[in-house]
Amino acid sequence: MKKVLFILLFFKLIIGVGQEVQIDTLLINPTQKEWEDFKFPIIRIENEKLAKAINEDLKERFLGNEYSEFPIEKAIIEWADENIVYLDFEITYNKNGILSLNISTEGCGAYCTNWTVYYNYSTITGDFFMPEDIIKISEIKDKINRDKKFQYLRAKQELDELFAEPDSGLDKEQYDWALREYKSCEEAFEIEEIAIYEDYLQIIYDCHLPHAIRSLEPQIELKYNYQDISDYLKIEIN
């Protein structure tokens, strides 16, 4: 099954310490299907050993340590198989020796599902930043939990209002089901992913509901301006 592979220059930036950080787009064209090209980031740095370490780490994290024996092009082809229909990425921050990006995927089986994963790296050392490397989790967690609780209260209020509408189509069984899912999501919350943007930091948090009630998913956004959380930051972002 023939596939066409090539590299396209995507983004280029000079960071403060003098290293050139360049993000290439690896385009993977599954020619036998009417999908748009899959896109995967390739990091280029003057220090090739450092760039290789970041690229290898990103590959292993994204693919869950599968297909380690293959180069990235073939690894993605093997991983995508017949079910992946979309793959793209976004660079959200690339300066001060910090690279923040996310990779979005859509897979289709009985239903189509999309998801996004988030990664943060030092382009000076090559280290992958865990959430605890970026913020003081034990100190900021109460603030985040308060914000999360407030947004869930608002989401439940909106659900109540929808249920009260005679023509909404939301029945009691679906309403109760959604409330149970809200509670489960809220109780299971952990700070596991962080996205860094030019003006704010976001704690990644999604509450995914079963397909039958997916339209009732609560929109919880935990975004913080750097000025408001400066006391909690462990790395210099701005």
**Res 178: pLDDT:** 98
**What is the domain range of residue 65?**
4-129
Q: What is the pLDDT along the chain (238 residues), one digit of tens a residue?
A: 334 444 444 444 434 444 579 999 999 876 556 667 899 999 999 999 999 999 999 999 999 999 999 999 999 988 987 789 899 999 999 999 999 999 999 998 888 899 999 999 999 999 999 999 999 999 999 999 999 999 999 999 999 999 999 999 999 999 999 999 999 999 999 999 999 999 999 999 999 999 999 999 999 999 999 999 999 999 998 7
**Res 3: pLDDT:** 44
Same domain, 144 and 225: yes
**Res 110: pLDDT:** 83
For the entire predicted model, the pTM comes to 0.88
Question: Which CATH number characterizes residue 50's domain?
Answer: 3.30.565
State the Rg of the chain over Cα: 20
**Res 205: pLDDT:** 95
Same domain, 30 and 147: no
**Res 34: pLDDT:** 65
Same domain, 145 and 157: yes
CA gap 183, 180 in Å, rounded: 5
Same domain, 8 and 121: yes
Which of 129, 147, 182 is the last residue in one of the domains?
129
Same domain, 143 and 102: no
pLDDT 10s digits, 35-44: 678 999 999 9
Which of 95, 129, 163 is the last residue in one of the domains?
129
CA gap 118, 61 in Å, rounded: 10
The residue with tokens 């960071």 is 15
Which of 76, 98, 129 is the last residue in one of the domains?
129
**Res 109: pLDDT:** 84
Same domain, 15 and 113: yes
Helix axes 172-188, 137-164, angle to 10 degrees: 180
Same domain, 41 and 90: yes
**Res 7: pLDDT:** 43
Same domain, 197 and 90: no
Same domain, 110 and 190: no
The tally of domains found in the chain comes to 2
Same domain, 171 and 72: no
CA gap 116, 108 in Å, rounded: 15
